[in-house]
Amino acid sequence: MNIDWQHFTPWASLIGGLLLGVASAAFILINGRILGISGILGGLLPPKVGDISWRVAFLLGMLAAPTVFMALVPAGFASEPRIDAGFWTVIAAGLLVGIGTRYASGCTSGHGVCGLSRLSPRSLVATLSFMGAGFFIVYILRHIV
């Protein structure tokens, strides 16, 4: 194993991670809800009466983030995004993520951050499964195919 020092951003990633933790903490303690993106989004498909506005408020806040970030940090994003996947690959990946996260009731935020934080064995299994699948598929795509 060799480390990619060129792209390694320890401080930005650590501080960014702390912000994710503070947001998850605020959401459970102030609003009483688990901060899980796939669940918040999926709960709108289809929308259910009385269970819409909090999801929309949260999602609008997330969607405002790039604009606010650019205003706070005019120099731009910490790292310029690199998207290697092509058209059909992106579609296939999106479908897998959509079905998989709903089937497993959670993604990186709900199971990975909140679930591990509250020491849930169920979320540990989910996190090990999606991390394992991620490591495996990247190994196949980058080193075998």
Partner 1 sequence: MNNTIHRISEFLVGLLFGLGLILSGMTDPGKVVGFLDLFGSWDPSLALVMGGAIAVGFFAFSLAKKRTMNFLGGLLRLPNSQVIDRRLVIGSLMFGAGWGIAGFCPGPALVSMASGQPKALLFVLAMLAGMVGYELLDRFIHAPRKAKLNPS
**28: helix, coil or strand?**
helix
Q: Which of 12, 47, 51, 52 forms a contact with partner 1 (CB under 8 A)? A: 12
Q: Does 1 bind partner 1 (CB under 8 A)?
A: yes
Q: Is 31 in the site for partner 1 (CB under 8 A)?
A: yes
What is the total count of residues that contact partner 1 (CB under 8 A)?
A: 112
The minimum distance between CB 51 and partner 1, in angstroms, equals: 12
Q: Which tokens go with 106?
A: 């959670």
Single residue of 25, 47, 51, 52 touching partner 1 by CB under 8 A: 25
Per CB under 8 A, 52 contacts partner 1: no
Could you tell me the sign of the dihedral formed by the alpha carbons of 134, 135, 141, 142, in that order?
positive
Please state whether the peptide bond connecting residue 81 to the residue before it is cis, i.e. omega within 30 degrees of 0: no
Structure tokens at 86: 């092509």
